Amino acid sequence: MSTTQSRVALVTGGSGGIGRAVVRRLASDGFDVAVHYVGNAARAQEVVEEATATGSRAIAVGGDVADETAMAEAFDAVQAELGGVDVVVNTAGVMVLGPIATFDLDALDRMHRTNIRGTFVVSQLAANRLRRGGALINFSTSQTRAQHPTYGPYVASKAAVEGLTLVLARELRGRDVTVNAVAPGPVATPLFLDGKDEETVAGFARLVPLERLGEPADVAETVAFLAGPARWVNGQVLFTNGGLV
């Protein structure tokens, strides 16, 4: 396995709340980082500048995670500019809430395109591109266990991510590549907070034994563990949720 200073991480959704925290954490560990984005190049560049300020090399790469051609080009850019790919952290995701009985099927298709197809495309590329000693870290949700109403369509997509992750870990036997998923609980990100009033947010915080929402940095610590020292953790879903479930 290469030294920490020369390892390269690609973070999809790297300009978002959790993704940004992951980039910061991995850069602080000495990783060179590729910040993936869709649509907001300026924000991705801000994250790149934060990473380079720590002494890491960093680039921004764009593309729809569900578009296999665009993502292959993103992987190509990372390999050309940073020398290879050792870690892929797949934080890109969409969350739309609503009861199953009345849920809009077009919204379901849009969400599942990013969460299921997008995760599949990135995982497929990672399976073929990661160097020995590498790690793929996908993202699920603690709602697969908590099962709160209105989360059904979202949970359906993330349950698929868990299944894909666990099978891929077994398929990569002999490659010295770990494949795991992180399943956060309620985290104070725009994705989670969108559409929720203060009372609803406070209610989620009370559900957690630690009596607070998670912070993106809390999740980034788990990712750093899986990306670095956790070579004996493979084919697992790590529930990073303060004891919610």
Domains of the chain, first to last: 4-240 (3.40.50.720)
Burial category of 20 from C-beta neighbours within 10 Å (exposed 0-12, middle 13-18, buried 19 and up): buried
Catalytic annotation present for 154: yes
Q: Render 53-114 in DSSP notation, one character per residue.
A: TTT--EEEEE--TT-HHHHHHHHHHHHHHHS--SEEEE---------GGG--HHHHHHHHII
Residue 132 backbone dihedrals phi, psi, to 5 degrees: -55, 145
What pLDDT does 1 receive?
39
pLDDT of 2 over the 50 cut: no
Q: How far is CA 77 from CA 158, 213, 216, in A?
A: 28, 36, 27
Whether residue 187 contacts residue 17, with contact meaning beta carbons closer than 8 Å, is answered with: yes
| Cα–Cα distance, 215 to 95 (Å, whole number) | 18
pLDDT in tens, 203-213: 989 999 999 99
Tell me which residue has tokens 């070579």: 231
Tell me the two tokens of residue 136.
Answer: 């793929």
Do residues 7 and 31 touch, judged by C-beta distance below 8 A?
yes
Which of 24-38, 113-127, 173-187, 201-215 is predicted least confidently? 201-215
pLDDT in tens, 108-154: 999 999 999 999 999 999 999 999 999 999 999 999 999 999 999 99
Whether the per-residue pLDDT at 173 is higher than 50: the answer is yes
Query: What is the number of other CB atoms lying within 10 angstroms of the CB of residue 76?
Result: 13
CB atoms under 10 Å from CB of 240, counted, come to 20
Count CA atoms within 13 Å of residue 78 on its CB side. 32
pLDDT: which is higher, 196 or 221: 221
What mean pLDDT, rounded, does the chain reach?
Answer: 95
Active site residue: 31, 75, 154, 204, which one? 154
Which two three-digit tokens encode residue 49? 């500048």
